[in-house]
Amino acid sequence: MQKNLVIVESPAKAKTIEKFLGKDFKVMSSYGHIRDLKKKAFSIDIAHDFKPEYEIPADKRALVGQLKEEAAKADTVWLASDEDREGEAIAWHLYEVLKLKPEHTKRIVFHEITKSAILNAIEHPRSIDLNLVDAQQARRVLDRIVGFELSPVLWRKVKPALSAGRVQSVAVRLIVEREREINAFRTEAAYRVTALFLASDADGKQAELKAELPRRFKTKAEAQDFLEHCRAARFRIGDISTKPLRKSPSAPFTTSTLQQEAARKLGFTVAQTMMVAQRLYESGMITYMRTDSVNLSEFALNSSREAITRLMGEPYVCTRHFATKTKGAQEAHEAIRPTNMDSPKIEGTHQEKRLYELIWKRTIASQMADAVLEKTTVTIGIDGMKDEAFVATGEVVKFDGFLRVYRDSMDDDADLRDDETGLLPPLKKGQELACNEITATERFSQHPPRYTEASLVRKLEELGIGRPSTYAPTISTIQQREYVVKGDKPGEERAYNVLCLRDGKISDSTRTETTGAEKAKLMPTDTGLVVNDFLTEYFPNILDYNFTATVEKQFDEIAEGEKKWTGVLHTFYDHFHPSVESTLAAKSAHKAGERVLGTEPKTGKQVSVKIGRFGPVAQIGAAGEDEKPRFAQLRKDQSIETITLEEALDLFKLPRTLGEQDGQTVSVGAGRFGPYVHGFGIYVTLPKEIDPMSVTLEQAVELLKAKQEAEAKRHIKRFDEEPDLEIMNGRYGPYISYQGNNYKIPAGIEPADLSLASCLELVKLQEEKAAARKKRPARAAKAEKPAKTAKAKK
DNA sequence: CAGTGAGCGAGCTTCCGCTTGACTT
Query: pLDDT for A617-649, tens place per residue?
Result: 898 887 766 677 888 888 888 888 889 998 888
Report which residue type is found at A255: T
Q: What is the pLDDT of residue A775?
A: 45
Q: What is the pLDDT of residue A590?
A: 58
Q: What is the pLDDT of residue A772?
A: 57
Read out DSSP for A88-136? HHHHHHHHHHTT--GGGEEE---SS-SHHHHHHHHHS-B---HHHHHHH
Amino acid whose CA is nearest the C1' of B22:
A59
pLDDT surpasses 70 at A400: yes
Amino acid whose CA is nearest the C1' of B9:
A623
Report which residue type is found at A745: I
pLDDT per position as a tens digit, A373-389? 999 999 999 998 888 99
Give the residue with greater pLDDT, A794 vs A749: A749
pLDDT surpasses 50 at A593: yes
Question: Average pLDDT for residues A85-91, to the nearest whole number?
Answer: 97
| Averaged confidence pLDDT in chain A | 89
Give, in Å, how far the C1' of B3 lies from the CA of A708: 14
Indicate yes or no: strand B within 7 A of the C-beta of A160: yes
pLDDT tier, A589 (very low <50, low <70, confident <90, very high otherwise):
low
Instruction: Calculate helix-pair angle for A130-157, A526-538, nearest 10 degrees.
Output: 120
Give, in Å, how far the C1' of B14 lies from the CA of A204: 77
The count of residues in chain A is: 794
- Give the side-chain half-sphere CA count within 13 A for A709: 6
Give the residue with greater pLDDT, A699 vs A276: A276
Give, in Å, how far the C1' of B23 lies from the CA of A269: 23
Q: What is the pLDDT of residue A49?
A: 97
pLDDT surpasses 80 at A342: yes
CA separation (Å) from A339 to A114, A259, A335, A343, A360?
11, 19, 11, 9, 9
Least confident segment among A143-147, A193-197, A200-204, A466-470: A200-204
Amino acid whose CA is nearest the C1' of B4:
A673
Look up A288 and say whether it is catalytic: yes
What lies within 8 Å, CB to CB, of A266 at 6+ separation is A351, A354, A355, A358
Q: Are A555 and A138 in contact (CB under 8 A)?
A: yes
Indicate yes or no: strand B within 7 A of the C-beta of A353: no
Give, in Å, how far the C1' of B21 lies from the CA of A61: 15
Question: Average pLDDT for residues A278-288, to the nearest whole number?
Answer: 95
pLDDT per position as a tens digit, A643-696? 999 888 888 888 888 888 888 888 888 776 677 888 887 888 887 777 777 788
Select from A181, A122, A228 the least CA-distant residue to A449.
A181
The continuous run of DSSP H or E covering A603 comes out as none
8-state DSSP, A264: I
Q: What is the pLDDT of residue A309?
A: 97
Q: Are A378 and A400 in contact (CB under 8 A)?
A: no
Q: What is the pLDDT of residue A359?
A: 98
Label the pairing between strands A36-37 and A484-489.
unpaired
Handedness of CA A410, A273, A779, A758 (dihedral sign): negative
- List A297's β-bridge partners, or say none: none
Checking A150-156 for CB contacts under 8 A at 24+ apart, the result is A150/A535, A150/A539, A150/A542, A150/A580, A153/A538, A153/A580, A153/A583, A153/A584, A154/A531, A154/A534, A154/A535, A156/A584
pLDDT per position as a tens digit, A460-490? 999 999 999 999 999 999 999 999 999 999 8
Question: Average pLDDT for residues A205-231, to the nearest whole number?
Answer: 94
Chain A 272-331 contacts with nucleic strand B (CB below 7 A): 278, 281-282, 288, 290, 330
pLDDT per position as a tens digit, A725-738? 778 776 667 778 88
* A746 cis-preceded (ω within 30 degrees of 0): no
What lies within 8 Å, CB to CB, of A60 at 6+ separation is A31, A34, A35
pLDDT surpasses 60 at A413: no
pLDDT tier, A420 (very low <50, low <70, confident <90, very high otherwise):
low
pLDDT surpasses 90 at A188: yes
Question: Average pLDDT for residues A35-59, to the nearest whole number?
Answer: 96
| Angle at CA of residue A88, ends A82 and A92, nearest 5° | 130
Residue A442 has φ and ψ, to the nearest 5°, of -75, 125
pLDDT tier, A782 (very low <50, low <70, confident <90, very high otherwise):
very low
Indicate yes or no: strand B within 7 A of the C-beta of A136: no
Report which residue type is found at A694: S
Out of A288, A451, A471, A735, the active site residue is: A288
Phi-psi region of A619 (alpha: psi -120 to 50; beta: other; left: phi over 0): beta
Select from A688, A646, A645, A692 the least CA-distant residue to A666.
A692
First to last CA, chain A: 64
Q: Cα separation of A25 and A794, whole Å?
A: 54
Chain A 65-124 contacts with nucleic strand B (CB below 7 A): 82, 84-86, 90
Q: What is the pLDDT of residue A588?
A: 63
Q: Cα separation of A456 and A472, whole Å?
A: 10
Q: What is the pLDDT of residue A738?
A: 80
Give the residue with greater pLDDT, A751 vs A460: A460
A300 by DSSP, 3-state: which?
A: helix
Q: Are A247 and A371 in contact (CB under 8 A)?
A: yes
- Bases of strand B lying below 7 A from some protein CB: 1-9, 12-21, 25
Give, in Å, how far the C1' of B19 lies from the CA of A84: 15
pLDDT surpasses 90 at A613: no
Of all nucleotides in the shown strands, which has a C1' nearest the CA of A552? Answer: B16
